[in-house]
Amino acid sequence: MGALSLFQLDGRRALVTGAGQGIGFALARGLAQAGAAVVLNGRRAEALEQAAATLRAEGLDAATLAFDVTDADAARAAIDGFEAATGPIDILVNNAGIQHRAPLEDFPPEAFQRLLQTNVASLFNVSQPAARHMIARGRGKIINIASVQSMLARPGIAPYTATKGAVANLTKGMAADWARHGLQCNALAPGYFDTPLNAALVADPAFCDWLERRTPAGRWGKVEELAGAAVFLASDASSFVNGAVIHVDGGITATV
């Protein structure tokens, strides 16, 4: 097998959570361009169908599976039902996430709970049922979306930082438990990307100036720049990579 063929995803199916827009949609597109059939997840079926239609118009194989990742029972029922009716989920990308910005001393407790449920509990809710099927087959790929905030903190987002630190460590825990069953469980840690989640920061000239000076690459990331790393982690090219957190951040975590 040639080196380039290791990156091909033909004949594999990838479920991407939070795939209606932003990073999730870009990751789904990149995996589909590498040959995977992609299944877009989110809570709003209409928005998902619009996103899937965009991919289909590009000649890509895209379907939808709407469910709430914060609901463990709904996630299990959706994944078990999909596997029974349609076929195996070979690749899982846990991308769903939210942000809430406020000084820590004023941070609303209910917002903290929403962050925990969406950014951390959802990984457990979706990964556990998906992994059970993968374990039975002796193979599978799980890619969690961490962040530069898995390692670094910034004022006003302490609870988000806590959740992304948990994502990185839960990824390591998945690898510790599931690598022996043939699964590769890893994480991507994006830096600052121009996405709907960061719209307030993108619109802030002072923040953009700080970011461009702080990041060695001198700019915001483009969501399509995450696709290559995702394809690597989803493919046979990463068959002995487990528990890794790969930073795609323009060098921001490499410098002081």
Q: What is the pLDDT of residue 2?
A: 82
Helix (H, G, I), strand (E, B) or coil at 93: strand
Q: What is the mean pLDDT of each run of 10 residues along the chain (256 residues)?
A: 90 98 97 98 96 98 98 98 98 97 98 98 98 98 98 96 98 98 98 90 95 96 96 98 98 94
**Given 67, 82, 160, 232, which residue is catalytic?**
160
List the domain boundaries for the chain: 4-247
DSSP structure string for 132-189: HHHHHHT-EEEEEE--GGGT---TT-HHHHHHHHHHHHHHHHHHHHHGGGTEEEEEEE
Distance from C-alpha of 168 to C-alpha of 186, rounded to nearest angstrom? 9
Please state which of the four CATH numbers 3.40.605.10, 1.10.510.10, 3.40.50.720, 3.30.70.270 is assigned to the domain occupying 4-247. 3.40.50.720
The pTM assigned to this predicted structure is 0.96
For this structure, is 192 an active site residue? no
At residue 144, the pLDDT reads: 98
Longest dimension (CA), the chain: 56
